[in-house]
Structure 1
């Protein structure tokens, strides 16, 4: 992809009219660099859950479930490197840098390769309500030379910016839940009681109820179930 083609691709991404069209354009673009998969996500800080910060992904489902259940986000060399980098980097570079932390990172990367994510690139990006964020791209044998990284960086930053703008425009005006309200509602959506949520989050059940009440007020709901539905519709919480 030469400079002209990269700019044309970025312009198409920037003008995408819907999330679906945007994702289709981005996938068609990254395939040209040998990438079959991508995930755009925030990186969790204390009290946040990784799966609730994922904005968009085309990622192997079995690997995603395994990754979340094992809480690999805490030891993933690529995720850890995203906290320190401002420019794109390869998975190989991240793995080398993380070698000082022992074999956990190597094991995660080997399991990822077995799942079809053999090599990749990561582009750090800002994500709302998250400590940091990134787009991680993977494939069998992607192009990771400097020129390709620069092109993928431009296209990925444009994609991330447009995606978050489209998501923002689809939110009901005035609906912005706090981090804790979103977290509590996520557990309510899973069928947990206030007492169970208090044990999970390490707070009192009265505090849980306070956050639920706040979410109900902001969503204009009269029941917890209605608050969950409105928060899901507004993409304040993940289903």
Structure 2
């Protein structure tokens, strides 16, 4: 790569990082797609790392795969045999798809994934794994003959991380502004999350059952939850209580 091209990728990455915090989700996706297209990538996906029983649809936060390929991938449950996300679970370093090794004889399904992907023009790919305290994710992009020199890969890594984190933040549920839960409401919701009934919670906390139910109703109202089960789910998702 020439010095000029190297500087161009550096400029692209810095401009993207500078702009990303001001972009809405649609504008961010459009800008991200333009950046990876400049390197020869015409398809991508941002998704959580696979777990047993998970589907790609459930894990995906941004989908730029060919629609037909995504449908096949889900129908055949390729998420469980694809060597690329499997390798992403075991490394913190970005890697090319070719580095996700597998045994063609012992893992015919893994080979089928890569063969079918190539038929959709996804012949060479680059994957950036991300690992958080609460799980992991990956940004995987592909094309027929993308630019995979060290400079462009470093720039794409930076761009992808910022894009993913911004989308993740935009998708995160916002805590309602009706007012914070009181310590007592949090305490009662925590016991409810552990499966305790209103009567059992009243015994544990030395309160009347009527008082416990009142606090559960108030917590549900503040969380815009239709019932105590929904209130518990929202409180856990928003980090208001922990098990």
Q: TM-score, normalised by structure 2?
A: 0.66
Q: Which residue of 2 aligns with 1:18?
A: 24
Q: Which residue of 2 aligns with 1:5?
A: 12
Q: Is the 8 A contact 2:50 2:80 kept in 1?
A: no
Specify the SS of the correspondent of 1:98: coil
Distance 2:39 2:62 in 1: 19
Q: Which residue of 2 aligns with 1:65?
A: 71
Q: CA RMSD in A?
A: 2.8
The correspondence for 2:37, drawn from 26, 31, 35, is 31
Q: Which residue of 2 aligns with 1:135?
A: 139
Equivalences for residues 1-239 of structure 1 within 5 A: 1-13=8-20, 15-94=21-100, 97-99=101-103, 101-126=106-131, 130=135, 132-168=136-172, 171=174, 173=176, 220-221=225-226
Specify the SS of the correspondent of 1:125: strand
Task: Give the greater-gyration-radius structure (CA).
Answer: 2
Give the 3 Å change call, closer, same or farther, for CA 98–16 of structure 1 in structure 2.
Answer: farther
Give the 3 Å change call, closer, same or farther, for CA 30–172 of structure 1 in structure 2.
Answer: same
Q: Is 152-161 or 2-11 further displaced after alignment?
A: 2-11
Alpha-carbon distance, 1:83 to partner = 0.5
Q: Is the 8 A contact 1:38 1:138 kept in 2?
A: yes
Task: For structure 1, list consecutive stretches of 5 or more residues without a partner in the other structure.
Answer: 175-216, 235-239
Q: Is the 8 A contact 1:125 1:160 kept in 2?
A: no
CA offsets 1:123-169 (integer angstroms, 9 cap, x no match): 10236854x2100101121111222211111110010111111122x
Q: TM-score, normalised by structure 1?
A: 0.67
Task: For structure 2, list consecutive stretches of 5 or more residues without a partner in the other structure.
Answer: 1-7, 181-219, 238-243
CA offsets 1:23-46 (integer angstroms, 9 cap, x no match): 011011111111111100002323
